[in-house]
Structure 1
Amino acid sequence: MAETSHTNGGRLTTHVLDTATGKPAAGLLVDLFRLDDGKRVHLKSVTTNSDGRCDAPLLAGDEFRPGEYELVFSAGDYLRRQGTKLLEPAFLDIIPIRFGMAETKHYHVPLLVSPYSYSTYRGS
């Protein structure tokens, strides 16, 4: 089945859930990089909204292209602002997730985070 025209090509989205509190991780800084010939090229920085999501796709339309990318989540800063007491250095502070996008489709890369664990998957 072909993609419907309303999807308008590929897009990249993310959201962050705080599994320690069971709530969206609002106010968490996310940096997006593209890997070009092994070098990280910073594309943008966004902060999650009250639902733990970005207000717009990280990549969409003409900005979207297949390749290798990295999302970098500033989890330690978020957790400290929530009043979580972290040892220094924190077990999890900066969480990089490197992934590839091989097709012009929707890629959703969520982060589930707590002070001592995280997980991710390709969502929908």
Structure 2
Amino acid sequence: MSTSATASVSTHILDTSAGRPAEGVAVRLSARSGRAADWQALGGSATDADGRCKDLPALPEGTTHVRLDFAVEAYFEENAKFAKKQADAQQDAPANRDSGAGVFFPEVAITFAVVPGEHYHVPLLLNPFGYSVYRGS
């Protein structure tokens, strides 16, 4: 454990439907200092070619909760042609079953608790119809 007075956060996104990192996804970081406190928007970034956000803002001292907001709808819209080609190659793929919108979750918001001095890496495994997150290393 670090001796820093604040926690730190990093993230990356893997597009499991394409089998590659999700590049260009906007990520916003917010924090609060207690369950009853208001969220403070700290800023954001976008994922790089490796699906990573390496330049998220630092958390203020006293942060107890963090929220990462991922704007995934625009990513899937930009990558729709590639995703459709992949889905058409698979039998019973979601794009062939569903005739609605191309992405079921247009935004993903992940909220988690932090303690000072710890680093939190939060990977997002993403596809147009679902997602999974976990505390990475």
Q: Structure 1-normalised TM-score? A: 0.81
RMSD: 2.5
In proportion to residue count, which structure has more strand? 1
Pairwise CA distance, 1:56: 2.7
C-alpha separation in 1, matches of 2:79 and 2:10: 24
Aligned match of 2:31: 34
Aligned match of 2:92: none
- The 1:111–1:119 alpha-carbon spacing in structure 2 relative to 1, beyond 3 Å, is same
CA contact (8 A) 1:13 1:58 kept: no
C-alpha separation in 1, matches of 2:63 and 2:131: 25
Match status 1:96 vs 2:109: yes
Gaps of 5+ in 1: none
Question: In structure 2, the residue corresponding to 1:92 is in which secondary structure?
Answer: coil
- The 1:65–1:55 alpha-carbon spacing in structure 2 relative to 1, beyond 3 Å, is same
C-alpha separation in 2, matches of 1:116 and 1:54: 23
- Identity of paired residues, percent? 32
**Based on CA coordinates, which of the two structures has the bigger radius of gyration?**
2
Q: How does 1:1-124 map to 2 (within 5 A)?
A: 3=2, 10-36=7-33, 37-59=36-58, 63=60, 65-83=62-80, 84=83, 87-88=100-101, 90-124=103-137
CA contact (8 A) 2:43 2:56 kept: no
In proportion to residue count, which structure has more helix? 2
The count of aligned residue pairs is: 119
C-alpha separation in 2, matches of 1:8 and 1:57: 17
